[in-house]
């Protein structure tokens, strides 16, 4: 089995852990789609991701990587995102190299 799979909530993370995966990825794409019914275009906020991510991290013993999007703004926002995600319990954070505001990574016209 693969070592990492994505989730959008705490029950999904528990299912991933129960299936024997070694880690989970808390996906902004999956969160935006499942919770907001929106595409991954930067609509989900830092605080929504950190709050939901805290629940995900608390639900499992495996490490969870958080989707830090573009860091939610400039340099100070990236610093806040990384520190906040660490406090939420994430083992690591992924930061996209897109210009802010971001576009869906699967759409045309993405600028890095």
The CATH number assigned to the domain holding 27 equals 3.20.20.60
Quick: pLDDT tens for 70-97.
899 889 999 999 999 999 999 999 998 7
pLDDT of residue 1: 47
Q: Which long-range contacts (CB under 8 A, 24 or more apart) does 28-35 make?
A: 28/67, 28/69, 29/67, 29/104, 29/105, 30/6, 31/67, 33/8, 34/8, 34/9, 35/8, 35/9
Number of domains in the chain: 1
Q: Which domain holds residue 87?
A: 4-94
Contact between 6 and 27 under an 8 Å Cβ cutoff? The reply is yes
In a domain, 100, yes or no: no
pLDDT tens string 5-24: 999 999 999 999 999 999 99
Supply the mean pLDDT for the chain: 90
Report yes or no on 45 lying in a domain: yes
| Active centre residues (catalytic) | 104
Give the residue-averaged pLDDT of 96-108.
Answer: 68
Q: Is 111 a domain residue?
A: no
Q: Identify whether 108 is part of a domain.
A: no
């Amino acid at each position: 089995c693969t070592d990492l799979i994505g989730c959008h909530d705490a029950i999904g993370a528990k299912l991933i852990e129960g299936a024997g995966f070694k880690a989970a990825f808390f996906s902004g794409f999956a969160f935006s789609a499942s919770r907001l019914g929106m595409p991954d275009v930067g609509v989900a906020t830092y605080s929504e991701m950190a709050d939901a991510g805290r629940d995900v991290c608390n639900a499992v013993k495996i490490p969870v990587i958080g989707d830090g999007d573009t860091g939610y703004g400039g340099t100070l926002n990236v610093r806040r995102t990384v520190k906040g995600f660490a406090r939420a319990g994430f083992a690591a954070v992924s930061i996209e190299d897109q210009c802010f505001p971001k576009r869906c990574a699967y759409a045309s016209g993405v600028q890095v």
